[in-house]
Amino acid sequence: MLEATKTILDVENIPLVEISFMNDTHFEEVGIVKNLSKLVSVYQEKNSHTDDEMTQISQALNGWLDHTILHFKRENELMQKTEFPAYSVHSDEHEIALKKMKTMIQAWEQNQDIELVAEYIFTLWPAWFHQHVNTMDMMTAKFAKINGFVEGN
Ligand SMILES: [Fe+2]
Ligand SMILES: [Fe+2]
């Protein structure tokens, strides 16, 4: 499972879209998740944990959440700017994904069950991310490009 996950998470395996700032955000996110994956793997291998180790995971998860909030916000703004017709479909996917991420983090903070975090990071999120970038983000970027969106403006 871990090997398959690593394949999905490799930067070169993320589908590229036609807008650079979106690709850059996706690359950054994979970096964040790789770092978290290491922390979680180390945590899973030990039988007892210090408060510092738990805090480190909490901080990394909350940093990822902040990054994700900005990621989705910028894409939603791009869709609004370019009047992307499927705005609500794409932004709804963001909303649902954000809720799941928040629920996972809250569960971690309440009971420190690393297996729930591991399932999310190694299985649920990579599948979601790959599928989302390959469909919603891909269409959004293509539409923006065709409709004359120029980055930096
Ligand atoms: Fe995206
Ligand atoms: Fe998106």
Q: Could you tell me the CATH number of the domain that includes residue 100?
A: 1.20.120
* pLDDT tens per residue across span 91-140: 999 999 999 999 999 999 999 999 999 999 999 999 999 999 999 999 99
CA of 59 to the centre of ligand 2 (A): 24
- From the CA of 139, the nearest ligand is 2
Task: Yes or no: say if 37 and 122 are a contact pair by the CB < 8 Å rule.
Answer: yes
Q: Which residues neighbour ligand 1 (ion) by CB within 5 Å? A: 137
Identify whether 12 is part of a domain.
no
CA of 68 to the centre of ligand 1 (A): 9
Q: Domain count of the chain?
A: 1
Q: What is the mean predicted confidence (pLDDT) over 17-42?
A: 95
**Has residue 6 got a pLDDT over 70?**
no
Identify whether 152 is part of a domain.
no
Question: Rounded to an integer, what distance in angstroms lies between the CA atom of residue 153 and that of residue 137?
Answer: 20
> Quick one: pLDDT at residue 13?
81
CA of 47 to the centre of ligand 2 (A): 38
Identify whether 139 is part of a domain.
yes
CA of 95 to the centre of ligand 2 (A): 10
Identify whether 3 is part of a domain.
no
> Quick one: pLDDT at residue 9?
67
Q: Which domain holds residue 34?
A: 18-145
Per-residue CA distances from 4 to 10, 13, 37, 127 (Å): 10, 12, 13, 10
- Under the banding of pLDDT at 50, 70 and 90, the label for residue 4 is very low
Name the region of 17 (left: φ>0; alpha: ψ -120 to 50; beta: rest).
Answer: beta
Identify whether 2 is part of a domain.
no
Question: Rounded to an integer, what distance in angstroms lies between the CA atom of residue 10 and that of residue 15?
Answer: 11
**Has residue 153 got a pLDDT over 50?**
yes
CA of 141 to the centre of ligand 2 (A): 10
Q: Where are the beta strands (DSSP E) in 1-150?
A: none
Question: Rounded to an integer, what distance in angstroms lies between the CA atom of residue 31 and that of residue 87?
Answer: 27
CA of 135 to the centre of ligand 2 (A): 9
For tokens 């990822």, name the residue: 64
Identify whether 26 is part of a domain.
yes
Identify whether 56 is part of a domain.
yes
- Under the banding of pLDDT at 50, 70 and 90, the label for residue 8 is low
